[in-house]
Amino acid sequence: MDLITARGFRFASTLLPLLLGLPAPPASAVSAQPCDTFDSAHSAPLLSAEPDTKRVDSLLSRLSLEQKIGQLLLSYPPLDRTAPVMVGGVVMVGNLLKGADYVRERVADLQDRAVVPLLVAADVEGGELNRLSFLPDLRDLPSARQLGQGPVQQVGEWGCRVGSGMSSLGINLSLAPVLDLAASGMMYDSGRSFGDDPQWVANMAGAYSQGLAMAGVLAIGKHYPGYGDLSANTDYNLLVRNVSAADLEPEIRAFELAGPSLAGVMLSNVAYGAYGGEPAVIDHALVERAHYASWVTVTDDLAIAAIAQATGGDPAALLRAAYLAGNDLLLTTAPPDWDKGLDYMGVLMDLVNTDPQAMAALDDRVRRVLGLKDRLGLLEQVE
């Protein structure tokens, strides 16, 4: 197979520092700035860089069908530690975040074997959910609820500090901030929500995301269109919000007000009565609305058993439904090559080979993913 291997692009300016255990320089397309320069009155979005369409299209034209499919997967790192890494991105979770040196070495190895430079994502929130507390500068990262007390400049500075820590590990994509409006329920009780006012939450999340961008990290806001005041967790139950479409509008508005600062949104695993009782990750109308706002769309974790209840307990059917709904990045915390798990590549290959509409939609999805990578400067040295 003709691979566009990491040995071809081997972007040494990023990987060499990682291999030496030094902080990685930020990607050129998302310029880094000192965190204390954050301006709370800054009105223009910091994520102004547009992808180089010629570079993106050139790379897209050279990818095989299998390589294109791979770009849509944001997964737990493959278990095979020697083979080319086919997925578009990896998500660092659990024991993968057990220390700075380990993360740097693991990310460097994955990038070195990547078919196309990887999105490297982590779900970094503050308070009790702080997954980067091993970094001294982030040991006391406040929760969103604490940050939501303001001022905005402090939120932006914390976003920049988080982004700097992530960049130092080789992580370039934040699966945060949370934009769910909540004055009660799980999002409030856990401290994950900035508040319950759309404009205020948008201001806080926008500042945090701009801070991330100052350090060379792009933000994926979640959980679109809104978790609300639900008291349970979709990690354990298939949850349904029986609210009207009109009641959801203020929650969607929070995302849209923060929109220019977000590279994308994560669709929630919550089902919405106003949208046919289906989880957002498989609802075409909600995904299409997110695309209308020019966001890359990312699913919440498709490996969670509870969400498969929406497709009769069939995880393959869930994956197909998430693709057919229009999502760009299909997130799973399961390894793509786990022999006891779903064959993600195989399911998607079968889908596009048997469904002409699925095949016709593929290039646009891959183009958006590659565009995200180009905004991070990842494609500049791809041969």
Lowest mean pLDDT among 12-16, 44-48, 176-180: 12-16
Instruction: Give residue 362's pLDDT.
Output: 98
pLDDT tens-place string over residues 156-192: 999 999 999 999 999 999 999 999 999 999 999 999 9
What average pLDDT does range 136-164 have in this prediction? 94
DSSP 310: G
Euclidean distance between CA atoms 249 and 275, whole angstroms: 13
For residue 290, pLDDT beyond 80: yes
Closest by Cα among 26, 47, 92 to 296: 47
For residue 45, pLDDT beyond 80: no
DSSP lists the bridge partners of residue 278 as 272
Cβ atoms < 10 Å from Cβ of 265: 30
Euclidean distance between CA atoms 40 and 155, whole angstroms: 9
Spell out the domains of the chain, with CATH numbers in brackets: 6-56+70-375 (3.20.20.300)
Give phi and psi for 310, each to the nearest 5: -70, -20
Q: Say which residue, 202 or 25, is predicted with more confidence.
A: 202
DSSP lists the bridge partners of residue 181 as 195
DSSP strands (E only) in the chain: 73-75, 89-92, 119-122, 173-174, 218-224, 240-241, 264-267, 271-272, 278-279, 296-299, 330-332
Whether the Cβ atoms of residue 224 and residue 275 lie closer than 8 Å to each other? no
- Three-state SS at 183: coil
Instruction: Give residue 109's pLDDT.
Output: 98
SS3 content of the chain, % helix, strand, coil (to 5): 45, 10, 40
Q: What is 150-168 written as a DSSP string? A: S-HHHHHHHHHHHHHHHHH
Whether the Cβ atoms of residue 149 and residue 191 lie closer than 8 Å to each other? no
* Beta-sheet pairing, 218-224 with 173-174: parallel
Task: Please give the model's pTM, rounded to 2 decimal places.
Answer: 0.90
H or E element at residue 21:
none
For residue 73, pLDDT beyond 60: yes
| Range 280-284 contact pairs with CB under 8 angstroms and sequence separation of 24 or more | 280/223, 280/224, 280/225, 281/307, 281/322, 281/325, 281/327, 282/310, 282/311, 282/318, 282/321, 282/322, 282/324, 282/325, 283/325, 284/324, 284/325, 284/326
What average pLDDT does range 4-26 have in this prediction? 36
Q: Say which residue, 259 or 315, is predicted with more confidence.
A: 315
- Three-state SS at 332: strand
What average pLDDT does range 227-245 have in this prediction? 89
- 3 state SS for 84-138: CECCCEEEECHHHHCCHHHHHHHHHHHHHCECCCCEEEECCCCHHHCCCCCCHHH
Whether the Cβ atoms of residue 266 and residue 222 lie closer than 8 Å to each other? yes
Instruction: pLDDT band for 301, please (50, 70, 90 cuts).
Output: very high
Closest by Cα among 77, 116, 33 to 378: 116
Q: What is the dihedral of CA 312, 318, 322, 325, to 10 degrees?
A: -30
Could you give the maximum distance between any two Cα atoms of the chain, in Å?
54
Euclidean distance between CA atoms 352 and 166, whole angstroms: 35
